[in-house]
Structure 1
Amino acid sequence: MTLLRTCPRCGSVAREPGEHGGTWTCEEHGQIVPVGPAQVPTQKLLRQVALDSLVPVWMPRPLPQGWEVTGLQWAGAGAGGTVACVVAVSGPHPLPEMGDEEPTVDLMFVAEQPGIGLGAHLAGMHGVDPGPLLAEKAAHDPAEIKLEADDHEVPLWSVPVDGGLAYVGEASGVWLWVLAWPSSAALALLNRFCLVDARNVETEPDLPCGSLTPRLR
């Protein structure tokens, strides 16, 4: 069975290359790198994705108590390798008094090369790259948060997300998106862990895995 591939910028079904080669395309956005369906995470799959990825596969360490990895999704075509990768984690709200309506919190960490558009799509934003917005923010305001990723301090700036919160910056030469739902959980969580690139972990990542988050279905 052929897995359905979609456009990273809008989620519509992508058109396969023709018999004589070519590229994947989207009716609205033209030439794209297709995204496969979100996968239920396992330790083995995390390792396989890391081995084929051209971008970091960010894993939060340590995960807060009661949290699990709840989704993997990536963009790539043919033998070119993965050019965008999403790792989703979910768990209980760190501030129970603020989590009555949404007791479960979802976080996504997206690493992608410029021009892909998956992070912006998951954040509900128009456009492909956050570059222009980030340049304007960085010119006038200091970073709103700083997150440690592979022993490097990464400055991040916020962008609006419907019902949630997103931060974006640059890490390891590509975009790093941090998406959180609900927004009340973001700041309370992001100072509890650092990010580790699974590509630099020699063994299968030792992280608890759960069922697929509805945010990636």
Structure 2
Amino acid sequence: MTLLRTCPRCGAVAQEPGDHGPTWTCEVHGPIVPVGPAQAPTQKLVRQVALDSLVPVWMPRPMPEGWELTGLQWAGAGAGGSVACVVAVSGPHPLPEMGDEEPTVDLMFVAEQPGIGLGAHLAGMDGVDPGPLLAEKAQHDPAEIKLTADDHEVPLWSVPLDGGLAYVGEASGVWLWMLAWPSSAALALLHRFSLVDARNEDTEPDLPCGALTPRLR
């Protein structure tokens, strides 16, 4: 069975290379790099994705207590390797008194090359990438938060996200997005972990894996 591939910018079904041209295309956005369906993570799948990725596969370390990996998704065409990768993790709200309506928190970390559009789509934004927005923000405002990714401090700026918080910056030469639902959880979690690139791990990661989060279905 052929897995459905979609447009990273809008989620529409992508058209395979063929009579209409040599590349994957979207009826709305033209030539694209297609995205495969999100998958429930396993230790083995994380390792396979990391071996095939041209961008970081960001994993939180240490994983907050009670948390687990809940989704993997990536964009790529052919044997060239993935040019965007999404890692989802989920767990209990760090502030129980604020988590009555949404006791479960979802975080997503997206690494992508410029021009792909997957992070912007997951954040509900128009456009391909946040370059113009970040250029304006960085010119007038200091970074709103900082994450440590592979032992480097990464400045991030906020972008709009319905019902949650989203931050974006640049790490390892590509975009790094952090998306969090609900918004009350994001800032309370930031000091609890750093990010490591699973591509640098020599073995399969020893991380708890759970069912696929509905946010990636």
Matches within 5 A, 1:17-96: 17-18=17-18, 22-96=22-96
- 2-structure distance, mates of 1:80, 1:112: 14
Given the two structures, how large is their TM-score scaled by the length of structure 2? 0.99
1:213 aligned partner = 213
2:192 aligned partner = 192
- Any runs of at least 4 consecutive aligned residues in structure 1 with deviations exceeding 2 A, and if so which? none
Name whichever of 18-27 and 143-152 sits farther off. 18-27
Q: Secondary structure at the match of 1:2?
A: coil
- 2-structure distance, mates of 1:87, 1:188: 19
1:15 corresponds to which letter in structure 2? Q
- 2-structure distance, mates of 1:104, 1:206: 22
Q: Secondary structure at the match of 1:191?
A: helix
- 2-structure distance, mates of 1:43, 1:65: 18
- 1-structure distance, mates of 2:136, 2:21: 40
Q: CA deviation at 1:127?
A: 0.4
- 2-structure distance, mates of 1:43, 1:19: 39
Given the two structures, how large is their TM-score scaled by the length of structure 1? 0.99
2:6 aligned partner = 6
The answer for unaligned runs of 5 or more in structure 2 is none
Q: CA deviation at 1:141?
A: 0.5
**CA-based RMSD:** 0.9
2:183 aligned partner = 183
Structure 1, residues 110-138: CA drift from partner, whole Å, max 9, x if none?
00000000000000000011000000000
Percent identity between matched residues is 90
- 2-structure distance, mates of 1:20, 1:160: 36
**Number of residue pairs matched?**
217
